[in-house]
Structure formats: structure tokens, C-alpha cells
């Protein structure tokens, strides 16, 4: 039995470690890996009677959220909808597997951090190569809206760089600033500036805001980096000011486009999605529209209305043209699937996940744990535009960061399987 346990864990670890690369280039295998690790974890729990992880608050809230979504899917689409929604639980089991089984070992987490760091460096190199040469190594130029693709074929480099650089590179920069004196702080600030300038060239607004927000939190919590972070922000602002000359497409995307959207948010693509999701939730406040209901109901003229309670007058607000596959916000996505109860449960789940990650963190002096907590807080922040957490690579980046962050927290050592204890 012990040999079987050993091999199952080694297989699961071998599947998890390449995840950052899979989330760049092999989305279907990444989904298969998450499902396989969840199944292997259940097998491990059955064989070893390892069930103490079920006693956590976040597991209870996740189970309630999943049950609510399955119930709402059944009300909307019958057995077919319930079958689709049932698979959503695999993500929560995957998080538990990372927390209590695969990643409690510090050595494994260090290997994963190196993998993330290498992927982040690959993304930075790919972005600069495309900027300087006009095309990446695959032959692709910029996206139609001006965003750099980096070493990819779609505009996903910005989000991928944030999700890999924060846990993969920032801990090194923090350690460098604290142990190498003034030279180390200067070098760390220079590397941070390189990351920010890369994000400016990538020209994706939300990832750039995430990077700046993470830097701001690091500057507050790591005193030796405060001056460097402030200098990077000033120089980064100068980079944006020079972007009309050096990268006019990035300037149009980051500044001109943003100002236009904010000036007339209700008529912007994001505003239309927000209004459409708001109308759906207002029409179905308790049961939503079932699993992935936004995708199927968005073209329905029944939801071509305004939100008078938010000061948005009645009107089609884009009609079918204003539709997308998802509402570009995790909380709105939950609301359209399971109504206000699902939104509330998802918010409660976010709190239950973040509390153990942040508990006692300031005095822990653990840069990797700090960056994982910041990453999890950023992805779970409610006021932002996101991709759907029902698909890859968003689900992979999000649940990898959450599971890894929980594994780095002290509670993980209490949940780790120990033969003969559970």
C-alpha cells in the first residue's frame, strides 16, 4: 500500500510541475491534468483515509457553492445542465489536492517556483522580441487592438506574465533587496522596471493594473523596496508618456481606449456586458440561468434592457452585438449561473481562501508566501475585468495560485497526510 501511495503522489507531482508551460501552449492537456490530479487525490484519500482537509471552512463554502450551481443548472436545463455543473467540483478538489497532498513539501514548491520564474522570463523575452522584430517566433504580429502576443498566438501574454512573475520572480527580487545591500535594492528596482516596461509594451490594461497593484502592496510590506517601487512607478509613468512615440499602438490601447471607455462606460463593450449580466441577475435573482447561462442567454432580446436602479436608462445597450461568451467578471458569472446566493457564496469563498493565506504573514518573512497571497487576492478581487473561470487558461492560473498559496500557509502542514494519523 505504501508503494502505491508513493507512486500516486509522484505521478500527481509530475503532472503539476509542468502546468505553467501547459497553460501557455497546451490548454486541453492542462484541463486534463487538473482533472487527473483531482481524481488521483480522491483515490489517495480513499486508500489512505485522508479526509481531515474536509474540515476547512473554504471546503464547506465551496461545497455549498457547487451544490447551488448544480441545483440552479437542474432548474434551468434539467439533467443535462446538472451533469455539466457537476464537473465544476473538480477545480475545488484540485485546490485541495495541491494544498494537502502535492505542494505541502517545501522542496516541491521551490521547483514549481523555478518553473514559474523560467516561464516568466520566456514571456518577457518573447514580448521584447516581437516588439523589436515586429513578429514573434511563430510569425505573428500584434493583435488587432495593438496588444503584444509575446511568444503566443493570442493576446494572453499579459495575464500569463502577471501570474508567473509574481510567484516566480518577485520573491527573488524581495530577497535580493533584503540581503544584498544597496546594490541589491538597485538591481531589484531595475528588474521591476523591466517588468513594468514590458507590461506597458504588452498593452493589456488589466494585467498592467495587476502588476502595479502587486508592486504597491510589496512596497508597503517590504520596507527595503519602497524607494525602488516608487522610482519604478515614476519611470513607468514616463514610459507611458513616451509611448505615443515609442509604441503608439500601446498608447492607444492603454490611454486613449481607456479614457473613451470610462467616459461612456455604459456604451463600452465592458459596460454592455455588465448591464446584460445585471439584467439577467435582476430577472432571476435566486436561481440564475444555470451553468454557463450567460453564454446561452446573452443574445435573448428579453435581456436587452437598462438598469434604472444604477442610473442606466432603458435601451438595447448593444443588443446581440454587445454579447460575449461570459460577462468578464467572476462574480457576475456566478450571479448569472446561480443568482445572488451564488454571488454571495463566491464572495464568502474568496474570504475563506484568503484568510489562511494572509494570517500571520507580515511577520513570516516568506517572500514566496507573500507573493502567492497577493496573487490570490488580485485574482479574487471583485472590481475587475476577467476571463471566464470555467475555461483555460484562466481556471488553471487561478486555481494553481490558490492551491499553491494555501499549501504555503501554515495550515497546510496540519492537513498533510501522515501515515497512521488520519
Q: Are 390 and 87 in contact (CB under 8 A)?
A: no
Phi/psi at 299 (5° precision): -80, 0
pLDDT at 422: 44
Q: Could you count the other beta carbons within 10 Å of the beta carbon of residue 416?
A: 19
Domain that holds residue 36: 2-49+88-262+359-415
> 343, 361, 278, 357: which is closest to 317 by C-alpha?
278
> Is residue 120 in a domain?
yes
Helix (H) or strand (E) holding 321: none
Name beta bridge partners: 312: 307
pLDDT at 421: 44
Q: Any idea which residue has 522542496 for its cell?
A: 107
> Is residue 346 in a domain?
no
> 277, 348, 349: which is closest to 310 by C-alpha?
277
> Is residue 334 in a domain?
no
Q: What is the pTM of this model?
A: 0.94
> 94, 151, 106: which is closest to 397 by C-alpha?
94
Q: Could you count the other beta carbons within 10 Å of the beta carbon of residue 302?
A: 9
Q: Could you count the other beta carbons within 10 Å of the beta carbon of residue 84?
A: 17
* Domains contained in the chain, number: 1
pLDDT at 418: 55
pLDDT at 314: 66
Phi/psi at 151 (5° precision): -85, 30
> Is residue 368 in a domain?
yes
CB-facing half-sphere around the CA of 300: CA atoms within 13 A? 14
pLDDT at 198: 94
Q: Could you count the other beta carbons within 10 Å of the beta carbon of residue 58?
A: 23
> Is residue 227 in a domain?
yes
Q: Are 335 and 285 in contact (CB under 8 A)?
A: no
- Tell me the pLDDT of the chain (422 aa) as tens digits: 678 888 999 999 999 999 999 999 999 999 999 999 999 999 999 999 999 999 999 999 999 999 999 999 999 999 999 999 999 999 999 999 999 999 999 999 999 999 999 999 999 999 999 999 989 999 999 888 788 999 999 999 999 999 999 999 999 999 998 886 788 899 999 999 999 999 988 989 999 999 999 999 999 999 889 998 999 988 877 877 777 777 787 777 777 777 777 777 777 888 889 989 999 999 999 999 999 999 989 999 889 887 876 767 666 666 777 788 899 999 999 999 999 999 999 999 999 999 999 998 875 579 999 999 999 999 999 999 999 999 999 999 999 999 999 999 988 767 776 543 44
> Is residue 328 in a domain?
no
> Is residue 24 in a domain?
yes
How far, in Å, CA of 159 to CA of 143, rounded?
15
DSSP 291: T
Q: Extract the C-alpha cell encoding 216.
A: 504597491
How far, in Å, CA of 91 to CA of 33, rounded?
11
Instruction: Give the CA distances from residue 180 to residues 172, 177, 183, 184, 220, in Å, rounded to whole numbers and listed in that order.
Output: 11, 6, 6, 4, 20
How far, in Å, CA of 173 to CA of 324, rounded?
39
> Is residue 115 in a domain?
yes
Amino acid at each position: 500500500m505504501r508503494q502505491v501511495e508513493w507512486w500516486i503522489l509522484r505521478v500527481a507531482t509530475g503532472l503539476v510541475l509542468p502546468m505553467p508551460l501547459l497553460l501557455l501552449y497546451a490548454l486541453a492537456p492542462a484541463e486534463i491534468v487538473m482533472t487527473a490530479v483531482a481524481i488521483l487525490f480522491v483515490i489517495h484519500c480513499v486508500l489512505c483515509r485522508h479526509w481531515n482537509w474536509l474540515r476547512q471552512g473554504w471546503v464547506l463554502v465551496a461545497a455549498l457553492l457547487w451544490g447551488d450551481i448544480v441545483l440552479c443548472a437542474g432548474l434551468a436545463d434539467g439533467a443535462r445542465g446538472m451533469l455539466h455543473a457537476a464537473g465544476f467540483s473538480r477545480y475545488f478538489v484540485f485546490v485541495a489536492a495541491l494544498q494537502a497532498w502535492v505542494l505541502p513539501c517545501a522542496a516541491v514548491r521551490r521547483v514549481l517556483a523555478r518553473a514559474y520564474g523560467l516561464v516568466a522570463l520566456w514571456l518577457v523575452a518573447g514580448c521584447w522580441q516581437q516588439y523589436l522584430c515586429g513578429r514573434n517566433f511563430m510569425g505573428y504580429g500584434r493583435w488587432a487592438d495593438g496588444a503584444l502576443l509575446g511568444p503566443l498566438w493570442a493576446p494572453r501574454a499579459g495575464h500569463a506574465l502577471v501570474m508567473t512573475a509574481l510567484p516566480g520572480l518577485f520573491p527573488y527580487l524581495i530577497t535580493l533587496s533584503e540581503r544584498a545591500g544597496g546594490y541589491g535594492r538597485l538591481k531589484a528596482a531595475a528588474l521591476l522596471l523591466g517588468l513594468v516596461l514590458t507590461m506597458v509594451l504588452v498593452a493589456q490594461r488589466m494585467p498592467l493594473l495587476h502588476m502595479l497593484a502587486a508592486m504597491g502592496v510589496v512596497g508597503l510590506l517590504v520596507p527595503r523596496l519602497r524607494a525602488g517601487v516608487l522610482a519604478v512607478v515614476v519611470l513607468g509613468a514616463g514610459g507611458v508618456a513616451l509611448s505615443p512615440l515609442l509604441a503608439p499602438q500601446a498608447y492607444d490601447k492603454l490611454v486613449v481606449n481607456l479614457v473613451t471607455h470610462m467616459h461612456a462606460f455604459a456604451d463600452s463593450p465592458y459596460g454592455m456586458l455588465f448591464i446584460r449580466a445585471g439584467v439577467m441577475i435582476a430577472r432571476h435573482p435566486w436561481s440564475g440561468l444555470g451553468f454557463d447561462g450567460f453564454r446561452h442567454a446573452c443574445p435573448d432580446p428579453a435581456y436587452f434592457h437598462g438598469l434604472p436602479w444604477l442610473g442606466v436608462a432603458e435601451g438595447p445597450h448593444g443588443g446581440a452585438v454587445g454579447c460575449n461568451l461570459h460577462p468578464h467578471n467572476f462574480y457576475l458569472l456566478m450571479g448569472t449561473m446561480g443568482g445572488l446566493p451564488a454571488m454571495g457564496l463566491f464572495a464568502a469563498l474568496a474570504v475563506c481562501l484568503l484568510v489562511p493565506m494572509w494570517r500571520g504573514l507580515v511577520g513570516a518573512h516568506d517572500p514566496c508566501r507573500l507573493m502567492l497571497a497577493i496573487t490570490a487576492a488580485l485574482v479574487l478581487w471583485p472590481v475587475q475585468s476577467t476571463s471566464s473561470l470555467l475555461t483555460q487558461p484562466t481556471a488553471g492560473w487561478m486555481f494553481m495560485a490558490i492551491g499553491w498559496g494555501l499549501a504555503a500557509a501554515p495550515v497546510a502542514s496540519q492537513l498533510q497526510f501522515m501515515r497512521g494519523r488520519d
